[in-house]
Structure 1
């Protein structure tokens, strides 16, 4: 994705313990207008370091990670990087997990199997809102 001052991109970091799943999500999100994948990780420690280094605007994370659960990552991001938008995209989608994630710092929660299209359209909407906000902050009047 090309980025320019007139086309600011939403920087997305992907966290999932399955490489093939991350690659598939990256392929499906990176074609969206205004979206750039800035990094990937399979465990929370590497994810947090990469999110900080890549200056991510949005994190898309699975709950099951190679070093435990994504709940630790949610808490860490909520505490240390509250400006980062966090989207949980998981197969563990019971009402209990949904409540726990939204209470624990996630802004969005989607079932990977049945709500992927909704998650993808939400990323596109967030990218449009991000571009509008950045352009307005930079003094550009027409978006």
Structure 2
């Protein structure tokens, strides 16, 4: 079972993601965080297999978190989920080690399959 941490500053988006993930028996929601500092604490405490990470957060950017996560937890899968579906962000996140980059507007429904299909590191 995949343990997933949801990191997004919008409670509404976190709820939507959680509702999608709750439909799968292969995924367990380990927790949620609404800002970068809470996300760092949650990852250290919960040790999730996967994080779903927004780029825009109020205190630390998702890109900064991605860098930190990939250094500290290289086996943890990071799925970027953002409204900033720009090729520059997509390329930057890939270069920093993001396992997937999904657009909130176009690919939101792909989250569950993306998590399940991502091989364990």
What TM-score range do you get, normalising by the shorter chain? over 0.9
Equivalent residues of 1:33, 1:124 under 8 A apart: no
Structure 2's unaligned 5+ residue stretches are none
Under a length normalisation based on structure 1, what TM-score does the superposition of the two structures give? Answer: 0.79
Bigger Rg over Cα: 1
Deviation at 1:117, TM superposition (A): 2.2
Which residue is 2:103 aligned to? Answer: 111
Structure 1's unaligned 5+ residue stretches are 1-8, 134-143
Which residue is 2:31 aligned to? Answer: 39
Partners of 1:33 and 1:125 in 2: CA distance:
14
Q: 2:45 aligns with which of 46, 53, 73?
A: 53
Deviation at 1:120, TM superposition (A): 2.5
Alignment length (residue pairs): 121
Partners of 2:57 and 2:99 in 1: CA distance:
19
SS in structure 2 of the partner of residue 26 of structure 1: helix
Under a length normalisation based on structure 2, what TM-score does the superposition of the two structures give? Answer: 0.93
Which residue is 1:122 aligned to? Answer: 114
* Structure 1 segments of 4+ aligned residues over 3 angstroms from their partners: none
Q: 1:11 aligns with which of 3, 27, 34?
A: 3
The RMSD of aligned alpha carbons is 1.5
SS in structure 2 of the partner of residue 23 of structure 1: helix
Q: Deviations over 1:66-86 (max 9, x none)?
A: 214201100100111101100
Matched, 1:100 2:92: yes
Q: 2:80 aligns with which of 82, 88, 95?
A: 88
Deviation at 1:125, TM superposition (A): 2.1
